[in-house]
Structure 1
Amino acid sequence: MNKENKKIALISKDPKVIDAIEKAVGDTFEINAFTNGIIFYNQLSTSSDELCMILSDSSLLDVHGVALKNTIEKLGFGHLPFFMVVDKATPTDIINAISSGVTDFILKPINGKQLKTRLDFQMKHPSPKKKNLEYTALKESKTPFIKRLFDIVVCSFILLALLPLFLIVAILIKLESRGPVFYYSYRVGTGYNIFKFYKFRSMDPDADAKLQQLKHLNQYNDPEEEEEEKQSEVVNEVKELCEFCEQAGGGCLQPLYDDNKMVCEKILMAKKDSNKDAAFIKIKDDPRVTRIGKFIRNTSIDELPQLWNVLRGDMSLVGNRPLPLYEAEKITTDKYSLRFLGPAGITGLWQVEKRGRGAMSEEERLSLDNDYVKNFSIWFDIKILLRTIPALFQSENV
């Protein structure tokens, strides 16, 4: 078998892992690296390239672990061997992995010789290829013709009518701060498809770089969980041994060391597992927002460039909000992935139901997204559009 027929998809953000795997098997296999699972299965669903296996640098319960494996199966590629690159594998992990369809674990640090032997063995003795009919492929979500026609006609009319407003807003943005008038980011829309999402720039030019510093202000974080985490941190600073090590006596059985102190590995891993970010990020009184940005946000003028996305077919006037990659990759469970089977839109059900009426939980927002997918129609869209008008002028500064 030649190298062209031996392509491996590697999902990893770690350059060291990518480099180690390429050095170990790059002479035999073609390594296609992806920084996250959404980019990977978006390409997997549209590309005709043949893969021989998938390697994912992730823990079992992370979004690039079993959740990614399940999504790949739904796309009809469950027959591809799925390896996980992990720091360690307990007997419980192995049992759970086998029951979830994971082929094998590859332990770090990567032993190049062992990896090559394992992958070569997989090629010579592949797992029985199951029929694609045994897997439920995701159906391509197509916008109904009448909805698409409605979008094109209404968008064209709105764009022509608002050209003077576009010009005024562009001048004000340029006068207040340096940087482009329009801002785009990659978003995940219908069927997990990725596209460029356009808005008027309402933040400082370096807003994305400041996001990590402001995550503690996220309105979707659970205050009770945050308080529990703070208390846990205080306890762990004093308590360096887990209950198992204390009962065993004689010191820590799983010690880890840094330059300053020793910590029990069980405590460290428990803390890591509990440190889960919310899927959505929304910051009240965001300090990155400019003065003109506050006005165009509160009047939703910043959303108007998305009319171009609607004309291109990336979005619809009404639908579920397309999500940034870092949010979408956390929503891969069967319970909430339904939201991606409906159209992506400028306005939608959750905006008119909850916006400006106080805080909304992540669970409520996802449920409303699912409700829209189950019930959307042209008449439902018109009703949401009419309710959107009073929702535009809201006092909530988000």
Structure 2
Amino acid sequence: MNTSDRYIMDNYAQQHHIGEQDALPIKVILVENDDFAVVKFLKKFGTELSIKVIESAEECFEFIKNTYPPDAIIIGRNMGGIKFLETVRQESWTNLLPVIITSDQITPGLIKEVAEKKGDDLFPKDFSSGDLVTRLKYFIKRRHYQASQQTKANILEVKIPFWKRFIDVTSTGFALLLLSPLLAIVAILIKLDSKGPVVYKSRRVGAGYKIFEIYKFRTMRTDADSMIKNMGSLNMYTKENTEKKIEGLCDDCKALGACQQQLYLDGEVTCEKKYLTQKKEKVAFMKFQNDPRITKFGGFLRNSSIDELPQLFNIFMGDMSLIGNRPLPLYEAEKLTTDKYIERFAGPGGLTGLWQVTKRGKGKKEMTEEERIELDIEYARNFSFKYDMKIFFMTFPALLQSENV
């Protein structure tokens, strides 16, 4: 990257040897209420980024409070960008979130102000200078490093009682011996069904904020990530499907039978004129129905929960327990490093736990993130042999329910 093109730059990447980001969709929130400015941004970056457009700083802050954070937020100075930046940096769960400020004019005073407010970068509104995509890739790598350092600082000492470890080892050891023929057959069928490894590994944060790799049988194709770019028409969150868009062409495009001004939005091709007539355009991140990335045999493994069986090895090796708080993906655990939430990691990690069975006991269809965390904290404070046995026997009725826990 040419440092002369950047207004706010540090040597963080060089100090920590941060390389290029893998070819995954970069999720960006663009805070903008000017349709023409949005169109220009989509034309420039729509094929490279997964973009969600939000029309105000207040709505953006509410959005990131209630969902997984994006890889970066781009907000204009005239959209309240400086105030938004101050708010984001005051919250512990968003203080690592990359925020890029844009402005019609870049002045020395603005450069200094954004730097003092701990903004990550400053771009001209038309992005006429600087490499935005390269900068975003750097932010992702930097954030992962910062989160890992924060994790180390928040490590908790969690001692697993002898009775709990004894139950885990004896029960999973017996189960693995009993299920070994099934595990072998499933492994063979996975290899016959598609190319790739039998077991999929995913990093999780468990007891004491310790990171480990959780095991599952592979249910997706090995080229799943690269397929995302060509799956826009299957996105469940896009507002209209391809057929509806053809019916909704503007008059000029109807006369020619096809869109003449294509616009790329979150992997979808839509009509630019039609987009400009919409009052609001809500575009979410990737979620698919009948996902073609899942192998034929993988669909069966997921529906039957057989893909979860390799986690018995995790329990046997001590990464987690049969009963405990469910280990979280890194991006979720990053949000729970404050004193208010860190206690949920003071309890053992587990395959099933209190919030899963409580959901059934109260007949709740959905449970908020806050409610789940409170139950995790309750378990961490009160787990015992009697408590574990109660949860264990409550798990079986929950498994018979139609909804996943």
TM-score by length of 1: 0.50
Q: Kindly provide the CA deviation profile for residues 161-214 of structure 1, in whole angstroms up to 9, marking residues without a partner as x.
A: 111111122223233333222111111222332211101123333445567969
Written as runs of structure 1 = structure 2, the 5 A alignment for 1:329-368 is 329-354=334-359, 359-363=365-369, 364-368=371-375
Please state how far the C-alpha of 1:86 moved relative to its aligned partner: 5.5
Which residue does the alignment assign to 2:263?
Answer: none
Per the alignment, do residues 31 and 206 of structure 1 end up closer, same or farther by CA in structure 2, a change over 3 Å counting? closer
Please state how far the C-alpha of 1:378 moved relative to its aligned partner: 2.4
Which residue does the alignment assign to 2:146?
Answer: none
Which residue does the alignment assign to 1:163?
Answer: 180
Per the alignment, do residues 350 and 397 of structure 1 end up closer, same or farther by CA in structure 2, a change over 3 Å counting? closer
Q: Kindly provide the CA deviation profile for residues 209-231 of structure 1, in whole angstroms up to 9, marking residues without a partner as x.
A: 5679699658xxxxxxx9xxxxx
Residue type of the alignment partner of 1:322: P
Which residue does the alignment assign to 1:197?
Answer: 214
Q: Match for 1:318 among 307, 318, 323? A: 323
State whether residues 202 and 297 of structure 1, in contact with CA within 8 Å, keep that contact through their aligned partners in structure 2: yes
Secondary structure of residue in 2 paired with 1:87: strand
Written as runs of structure 1 = structure 2, the 5 A alignment for 1:379-394 is 379-394=386-401
Which residue does the alignment assign to 1:42?
Answer: none
Please state how far the C-alpha of 1:309 moved relative to its aligned partner: 1.3
CA distance in 1, matches of 2:327, 2:177: 25
Per the alignment, do residues 137 and 340 of structure 1 end up closer, same or farther by CA in structure 2, a change over 3 Å counting? closer
Per the alignment, do residues 300 and 190 of structure 1 end up closer, same or farther by CA in structure 2, a change over 3 Å counting? same
Which residue does the alignment assign to 1:253?
Answer: none
Q: Match for 2:201 among 163, 169, 184? A: 184
Please state how far the C-alpha of 1:62 moved relative to its aligned partner: 10
User: 2:101 aligned with 1:87, yes or no?
Assistant: yes
Please state how far the C-alpha of 1:291 moved relative to its aligned partner: 4.4
State whether residues 58 and 64 of structure 1, in contact with CA within 8 Å, keep that contact through their aligned partners in structure 2: no
Secondary structure of residue in 1 paired with 2:214: strand
CA distance in 1, matches of 2:160, 2:120: 42
Please state how far the C-alpha of 1:288 moved relative to its aligned partner: 4.3
CA distance in 1, matches of 2:206, 2:20: 18
TM-score by length of 2: 0.50
CA distance in 2, matches of 1:276, 1:330: 20
CA distance in 2, matches of 1:151, 1:62: 47
Out of 345-354 and 312-321, give the one that drifted further: 345-354
Please state how far the C-alpha of 1:346 moved relative to its aligned partner: 1.4
Please state how far the C-alpha of 1:283 moved relative to its aligned partner: 7.4
CA distance in 1, matches of 2:2, 2:392: 49
Q: Match for 2:168 among 146, 151, 164? A: 151
Per the alignment, do residues 211 and 146 of structure 1 end up closer, same or farther by CA in structure 2, a change over 3 Å counting? farther
Identity %: 47
Per the alignment, do residues 32 and 353 of structure 1 end up closer, same or farther by CA in structure 2, a change over 3 Å counting? same
Please state how far the C-alpha of 1:66 moved relative to its aligned partner: 4.6
CA distance in 2, matches of 1:314, 1:154: 15
State whether residues 63 and 330 of structure 1, in contact with CA within 8 Å, keep that contact through their aligned partners in structure 2: no
CA distance in 1, matches of 2:186, 2:358: 28
Please state how far the C-alpha of 1:156 moved relative to its aligned partner: 1.3
Which residue does the alignment assign to 1:142?
Answer: 159
Residue type of the alignment partner of 1:392: L
User: 2:392 aligned with 1:378, yes or no?
Assistant: no
Per the alignment, do residues 286 and 382 of structure 1 end up closer, same or farther by CA in structure 2, a change over 3 Å counting? farther
CA distance in 2, matches of 1:388, 1:107: 49
CA distance in 2, matches of 1:327, 1:69: 10
Q: Kindly provide the CA deviation profile for residues 80-134 of structure 1, in whole angstroms up to 9, marking residues without a partner as x.
A: xx9x985379x9xx99x99xxx8x667546xxxxxxxxxxxxxxxxxxxxxxxxx
Residue type of the alignment partner of 2:174: F
State whether residues 316 and 346 of structure 1, in contact with CA within 8 Å, keep that contact through their aligned partners in structure 2: yes
Per the alignment, do residues 354 and 286 of structure 1 end up closer, same or farther by CA in structure 2, a change over 3 Å counting? farther
Structure 2 residue ranges without an equivalent (≥5): 22-70, 74-83, 104-108, 124-152, 240-271, 274-279
User: 2:309 aligned with 1:304, yes or no?
Assistant: yes
Out of 350-359 and 366-375, give the one that drifted further: 350-359
Query: May I ask how many residue pairs the two structures share in their alignment?
Result: 274
Structure 1 residue ranges without an equivalent (≥5): 1-14, 37-56, 72-81, 110-135, 219-225, 227-259, 262-270
State whether residues 324 and 352 of structure 2, in contact with CA within 8 Å, keep that contact through their aligned partners in structure 1: yes
Per the alignment, do residues 284 and 85 of structure 1 end up closer, same or farther by CA in structure 2, a change over 3 Å counting? closer
State whether residues 93 and 334 of structure 2, in contact with CA within 8 Å, keep that contact through their aligned partners in structure 1: no
CA distance in 1, matches of 2:386, 2:164: 10
